[in-house]
Amino acid sequence: MKSFIKLENVNINFPIYDDNNRSFRNSFVQTSKALRFATTNKDTKGRRVVRGLKNINLDIGFGDRVALLGPNGAGKSTLLKLIAGIYHANSGNTSINGSVTSMLDMGFGFEEDATGYENIIIMNSVMGNPPKIAEDKMQNILDFSELGEFMHMPLRTYSSGMRARLAFSTAVETSPDILLIDEFLGTGDRSFMAKSKARIIETMRKASILLFASHTIHLVTELCNKGIFMKNGEIIFYGSYDDAYRIYEEDIHEDEKK
Amino acid sequence: MNFLNKNLAFNDLAKEFYNYESWFFLAKFDLKLKYRRAFLGPWWVVIGMGVSAGILCLLWSTIFNFNWREYLTYLFSGFIIWMYLSAAVTEAPGIFPNNKHLITSTNATPIFYVLRRCTLNLLLFLHHIPLILIVIFIVSPDIEIRTLITFPLGLFLVFINAVFLTLSLGFLGSRYRDIEPTVQSLMAPMFLLTPVLWKPEMLGDNINFIYLNPFTYFVGILRNDITGIEFDMYVWIGALVITTINIIIFLLVYTRKKNRLIFWL
């Protein structure tokens, strides 16, 4: 079956917890109060929330390479995390078909005292790939990262550039049906940056669906054929990339005028 | 919404069960790192435990005029088992906040992190077995052959209880951050209330009070057979009842709150 992403009327609300309702004792006291004064005290009922995503309807099919455009806080990352299965919708339907790999955050699960080699297996295990699979990918990761002898040294001896190389090389060694990328920032030196850009474009091309949130416009323009423009947790426009980009630009100019 | 969407919980349990290679590898690796960080690794804890239990045994048997031979296995095994149970409970409320970064970056289920941690605790507990064997060798209590079955069975029961309790307490501890210090401070009096240092028969007529304490059952199923205490059916039945309650609480909490966990971190 071909991969697809279908979202219907999806909403995500982020509850806000202040110091008071983080405490079990306090919330117990509050509930008992609320029960007693249920008619007069309405504030204790209902959670205070911030809208993450509002009424999202989306239908993405095979071959779509979708750019996510919008200002900070528009809900781009939340949408990607929803599709990645990290967040769950408060209401609405989500159906996703195909293996999903998300490159939203890199270098999670790293252990300072483990060697680079071991960290590759750790990171894979954390993503649900058993050690056997990690071993199969190992040669490619080793070659790509060019860390050489450092692969057998503990992570605490690594510079931040070397960590980024390790994280990137491990994360990019994947061939999913659906690939989600959130503003990957090329770190490392210039030669590695050029190489990693070429590599990630290759991975993106292999995926049957791509969702790409980035402010690096030339890269997005080069890779995407569709576009979503988001603002305040809502999808304002979903259609061809050129139209989405035009609306995005207009929106930026409008904001500048204000 | 379904009152009890059991499928969610069972699907997730099945998913992580089939994914055992990943969390088992991570648990083994966590253990390996403990060895790497300190010469002798977890054996320091074993040595420390052996020394303090030895001193305690010497003192108590002198002060209270016990038969030290009999008391030695009782105290050692009690201490070791208590350490395991207490670690399982005190670590439970912090399990998800401590894995916040991973939970917000990958789509592994919460069960994954719990299995990783509980497996590590089990592996650490197994380090103490040689100590128990040495004591058994010195004292040679009458151990029956059924221990070969009941001890692993007891370990399994303690392990699954640790997993489900960690899940339920983990959810509670993520939502309410005062649960963790509360649980930690409750474990000290629990230690005194559980028959670890003393024997139930020392309570005389009040002996039945120990059965109000859930830890009694789990210390019992692990300890009785390796110290040559008579087989006590009640302890096993009690442990099974608690396991059932534990699983029901897990199902209630997990099916309702799984999708909210991430917002609490």
**What's the structural domain count of chain A?**
1
Cα→Cα distances A122→A111, B91, B152, Å: 8, 22, 29
Pairing of β A209-213 and β A178-182? parallel
Residue to substitute from A120, A121, A126, interface B, most B β-carbons within 10 A: A126
Neighbours of B10 (CB within 10 A): 12
CA distance A147 to A176: 25
Task: Tell me if chain A has a CB within 8 Å of the CB of B207.
Answer: no
Range(s) of the domain holding residue A34: 4-99+218-257
Query: Cα–chain-centroid distance for residue B100?
Result: 23
Task: Tell me if chain A has a CB within 8 Å of the CB of B67.
Answer: no
What per-residue confidence (pLDDT) applies to A51?
79
Candidate from B21, B26, B104 with C-beta closest to A86: B104
User: Tens-of-pLDDT digits for all 265 residues of chain B?
Assistant: 444 566 788 888 998 899 899 999 999 999 999 888 888 878 888 888 889 888 988 888 888 887 777 788 888 889 899 999 999 999 999 999 999 888 988 888 999 999 999 999 999 999 888 888 888 888 877 788 888 888 999 999 999 999 999 999 999 999 998 899 999 999 999 999 999 888 888 888 888 888 899 999 999 999 888 887 888 888 999 999 999 999 999 999 998 888 889 888 8
User: How does pLDDT run across A22-67, given as a tens digit for each residue?
Assistant: 777 666 555 544 433 333 333 333 667 777 888 899 999 988 999 9
What per-residue confidence (pLDDT) applies to A18?
66
What per-residue confidence (pLDDT) applies to B124?
92
Q: How many CB pairs under 8 A join A and B?
A: 82
Cα→Cα distances B20→B16, B24, B143, Å: 6, 6, 34
Query: Cα–chain-centroid distance for residue A91?
Result: 20
User: How does pLDDT run across B146-174, given as a tens digit for each residue?
Assistant: 888 889 999 999 999 999 999 999 999 99
The answer to whether A24 contacts B33, with C-beta atoms less than 8 Å apart, is no
Q: How far is A56 from chain B (nearest CA, A)?
A: 18
Pairing of β A91-97 and β A49-60? unpaired
- Angle in degrees, CA B157, B158, B163, rounded to 5: 100
pLDDT above 60: residue A208: yes
Q: Which residue of A has its CA nearest to B99?
A: A109
What per-residue confidence (pLDDT) applies to A37?
35
The answer to whether A86 contacts B264, with C-beta atoms less than 8 Å apart, is no
CA distance B186 to B165: 16
Tell me if A28 sits within 8 A of A189, measured CB to CB: no
Task: Return all residues near A41 (Cβ < 8 A) that are at least 6 apart.
Answer: A33, A34
Q: Using a CB-CB distance cutoff of 8 angstroms, which residues of chain A are in contact with residue B104?
A: 81, 86, 105
Q: Which residue of B has its CA nearest to A108?
A: B102
The answer to whether A113 contacts B263, with C-beta atoms less than 8 Å apart, is no
State mean pLDDT over A118-131: 89
pLDDT band at A187 (very low <50, low <70, confident <90, very high): low
The answer to whether A27 contacts B259, with C-beta atoms less than 8 Å apart, is no
The answer to whether B176 contacts A125, with C-beta atoms less than 8 Å apart, is no
DSSP per-residue codes, A104-168: SS-STT--TTSBHHHHHHHHHHHTT--HHHHHHHHHHHHHHHT-GGGGGSBGGG--HHHHHHHHH
Give the ranges where chain B is alpha helix by DSSP (H): 6-18, 20-37, 43-63, 68-91, 95-98, 100-103, 110-126, 129-139, 147-175, 179-193, 214-223, 233-257, 261-264
pTM: 0.87
Task: Tell me if chain A has a CB within 8 Å of the CB of B187.
Answer: no
Q: How many residues does chain B have?
A: 265
What per-residue confidence (pLDDT) applies to A34?
43
- CATH number for position A228: 3.40.50
CA distance A223 to B223: 64
Q: Which residue of B has its CA nearest to A91?
A: B1
Give the burial string for A111-143 (b: 16+ CB within 10 Å, else e). Answer: beebbbbbbbbbbbbbbbbbbebbeebbeebbe
DSSP A9: E
- Tell whether A190 is covered by a domain: no
Strands across the sheet with A234-240, in order? A100-103, A178-182, A209-213, A65-69, A226-231, A234-240
Q: Which residues sit opposite A240 in a β-bridge?
A: A226
Pairing of β A4-15 and β A91-97? antiparallel
- Tell whether A106 is covered by a domain: no
Q: How far is B93 from chain A (nearest CA, A)?
A: 12
- Tell whether A168 is covered by a domain: no
pLDDT band at A128 (very low <50, low <70, confident <90, very high): confident
For residue A249, the surrounding DSSP H or E stretch is helix A241-257
Q: Using a CB-CB distance cutoff of 8 angstroms, which residues of chain A are in contact with residue B106?
A: 86, 108-109, 126-128
Q: How far is B169 from chain A (nearest CA, A)?
A: 12
The answer to whether B176 contacts A127, with C-beta atoms less than 8 Å apart, is no
- Tell whether A154 is covered by a domain: no
- CB contact residues (below 8 A), chain B span 213-242, against chain A: none
Q: Which residue of A has its CA nearest to B116?
A: A126
Q: How far is A123 from chain B (nearest CA, A)?
A: 10
- Tell whether A50 is covered by a domain: yes
The answer to whether A111 contacts B23, with C-beta atoms less than 8 Å apart, is no
What per-residue confidence (pLDDT) applies to A46?
63
Candidate from A15, A24, A129 with C-beta closest to B176: A24
Q: Which residue of B has its CA nearest to A28?
A: B176
CA atoms within 13 A on the CB side of B103: 24
- Tell whether A160 is covered by a domain: no
Q: Which residue of B has its CA nearest to A110?
A: B102
What per-residue confidence (pLDDT) applies to A207?
85
pLDDT above 60: residue A72: yes
What per-residue confidence (pLDDT) applies to B35?
87
- Tell whether A133 is covered by a domain: no
What per-residue confidence (pLDDT) applies to A28?
58
DSSP per-residue codes, A182-207: E-----S-HHHHHHHHHHHHHHHHHS
- Angle in degrees, CA A175, A181, A185, rounded to 5: 115
The answer to whether B22 contacts A122, with C-beta atoms less than 8 Å apart, is no
Task: Tell me if chain A has a CB within 8 Å of the CB of B107.
Answer: yes
What per-residue confidence (pLDDT) applies to B185?
94
pLDDT above 80: residue A75: yes
Q: Which of A222, A214, A250 is nearest to A69 (CA)?
A: A214
Q: How far is B92 from chain A (nearest CA, A)?
A: 16
3-class secondary structure for A24-83?
A: HHHHHHHHHHHHHCCCCCCCCCCCCEEEEEEEEEEEECCCCEEEEECCCCCCHHHHHHHH
Q: How far is A142 from chain B (nearest CA, A)?
A: 21
The answer to whether B36 contacts A113, with C-beta atoms less than 8 Å apart, is yes
